Amino acid sequence: MNIVIAMPEIFLLSTICLILLLDVFLREDCRMITYLLTQVALLATALLAYGAMDGEKTTGLNGMYVRDDLAGVLKISILLLTFVVFVYARKYLKDRTIWVSEFFLLGLFAVLGMLVMVSANHLLVVYLGLELLALSMYALVAFNRDDGRSSEAAMKYFVLGAIASGLLLYGISILYGLSGKLEFAEVLTYVSSQNVLENIPLLFALVFIVAGIAFKFGAVPFHMWVPDVYQGAPTAVTMFLGSVPKVAALAMLLRVLAESMGAAQPGWAQLLLVFGLLSVFLGNLIAIAQFNLKRMLAYSTIAHMGFILLGALTGTTEGYSAALFYTITYAMMAAGGFAILILLGREGFEAETLDDLKGLNERNPWYAFIMMVFLFSMAGIPPTVGFYAKLSIIQAVMQAGYLWPAVFMVVMSVIGAYYYLRAIKMIYFDKPEQTAPIQAELDFNILISVNGVLMVLLGLFPSALMGVCSAAMVASRL
């Protein structure tokens, strides 16, 4: 028993309970206090997670939990990203008179689930964190419960999510039946002793586990829920769903596939190769046909997740670091892109079609510039960070000997650039259809500016973040 290693999670859980209790005794017009406490809790937990990074790999809670630098980096990025997302979300919720504290509380529970996933050292603990994240997310998607589309999206997400959880659990149970172990190190010992490509039951378990993980990423062929949920959910929830949980999904992939089944890499690499290539292909092609911006960004997410899967399949330290770098920077640009959508909307009006972007430059040149940076970054055009992220993935894939997948990724990136550039053309060269002024409070303006400038700065000086990512991988012996 070494419960100190779970300190950030214990602290966050206690704070959530306190906020929950305090909130029901506060008056309606004091909701701001709940919001501020939520943000303080996120920052304090991030500090605790930072303080726990000591370069060592410590397991505790009867071997179920692990604390290492990889967990530290992932936790800090999850917490800070959530902080930024909540600042953006505040404007959306206030504008639409759905300014209730449950959004932040459910968000905090989702964050707690993600932290548990990140630090898991046991297959059932991964599942526990995953379910806490997923259940909070189902409720958040249905947040606007009188809106038919929101409820429909939540229903689809719930049914498909439940099937995916079932697949994952089935895979875990087969693995348990074969090895009798669930702790990562012991599973690794078992998998290392087997000839993976010859062992049909083990491959069977692997396929189910990889399918469950691919669903959480939203990779083809498990991508059906992504566009509908992105479009149906309130934009603030789409922003949260489309950014932070991707980091947790990568954590799950690294922990379950790389760490506990690293010896089975020849088995799962084939699956990830197919999923990744299909995602890059379908995501980029279908996004071209989308007129709804949220749907377009959903298909763009699918394409980006393909890149991450392809980086992770290499099984090398470079590949894992590139995937981590890509995920963190992608989450930042996705949060920023959806924040601009929130900015363009107002009460009774949701900005979600490409037409709403028209003439943004005439309405507000600075926001137009920031949106252009986000779109350039998603398309992977230098000097934005999206370019470096794609470059490092493609380098890792080529080093691992996958030549034609690398060529395919480059070609699909060029095709994908079309729909990002089309949006930029509308921002700069079309006449505005809306004339309502675009307003936001100071904290929103500062964060969105920092977010946009970071995309360029990280693109010019990627080594700072890349160094952290590869150091974390080396410290965790991945």
Residue 158: CB minimum distance to other proteins, A? 15
3-state class of 255 per DSSP? Answer: helix
Residue 15: CB minimum distance to other proteins, A? 12
Number of chain residues interacting with other proteins (CB under 8 A): 6
The nearer residue to other proteins, 18 or 288, going by C-beta atoms, is: 18
Q: Is 113 in contact with 132 (CB distance < 8 Å)?
A: yes
Tokens 């794609």 appear where? 390
The nearer residue to other proteins, 162 or 197, going by C-beta atoms, is: 162
CA atoms within 13 A on the CB side of 426: 17
What distance in Å separates the CA atoms of residue 170 and residue 173, rounded to the nearest whole number? 5
Residue 59: CB minimum distance to other proteins, A? 19
The nearer residue to other proteins, 25 or 404, going by C-beta atoms, is: 25
Residue 65: CB minimum distance to other proteins, A? 15
The nearer residue to other proteins, 18 or 410, going by C-beta atoms, is: 18
Binding mask 146-175 for other proteins (x = CB under 8 A): ------------------------------
Site for other proteins in 74-133 (CB under 8 A): none
Q: Which residues contact 279 (CB under 8 A, 6 or more apart)?
A: 219, 220, 223, 302, 303, 305, 306, 309
The nearer residue to other proteins, 124 or 456, going by C-beta atoms, is: 124
The nearer residue to other proteins, 13 or 474, going by C-beta atoms, is: 13
Q: Which residues contact 402 (CB under 8 A, 6 or more apart)?
A: 273, 310, 314
The nearer residue to other proteins, 24 or 442, going by C-beta atoms, is: 24
- Of 75, 427, 86, nearest to 66 by C-alpha is 75
At 464, the amino acid letter reads A
**CB burial class (10 A; 0-12, 13-18, 19+) of residue 111?**
buried
What distance in Å separates the CA atoms of residue 109 and residue 292, rounded to the nearest whole number? 30
- Residue 352: its H or E element: none
Residue 24: CB minimum distance to other proteins, A? 4
Integer-rounded Cα Rg, in Å, for the chain is 21
3-state class of 58 per DSSP? Answer: strand
The nearer residue to other proteins, 15 or 384, going by C-beta atoms, is: 15
The nearer residue to other proteins, 24 or 464, going by C-beta atoms, is: 24
Binding mask 2-41 for other proteins (x = CB under 8 A): -----------x---x--xx--xx----------------
At 185, the amino acid letter reads A
Residue 241: CB minimum distance to other proteins, A? 24
Residue 376: CB minimum distance to other proteins, A? 45
Q: How many CB atoms lie within 10 A of CB 138?
A: 18
Residue 169: CB minimum distance to other proteins, A? 20
What distance in Å separates the CA atoms of residue 444 and residue 92, rounded to the nearest whole number? 11
Q: Which residues contact 106 (CB under 8 A, 6 or more apart)?
A: 136, 139, 140, 143
Q: How many CB atoms lie within 10 A of CB 116?
A: 24
* Cis peptide leading into residue 432 (ω within 30°): no
Residue 148: CB minimum distance to other proteins, A? 12
The nearer residue to other proteins, 92 or 138, going by C-beta atoms, is: 138
When asked if residue 442 is in the footprint of other proteins (CB under 8 A), the reply is no
- Residue 234: its H or E element: none
Residue 18: CB minimum distance to other proteins, A? 9
The nearer residue to other proteins, 55 or 148, going by C-beta atoms, is: 148
DSSP 346-413: BTTB---BGGGGTTHHHH-HHHHHHHHHHHHHHHT-TTSHHHHHHHHHHHHHHHTT-HHHHHHHHHHH
Residue 1: CB minimum distance to other proteins, A? 8
Evaluated on CA atoms 46, 52, 54, 59, the torsion sign reads: negative
Residues that bind other proteins (CB under 8 A): 13, 17, 20-21, 24-25
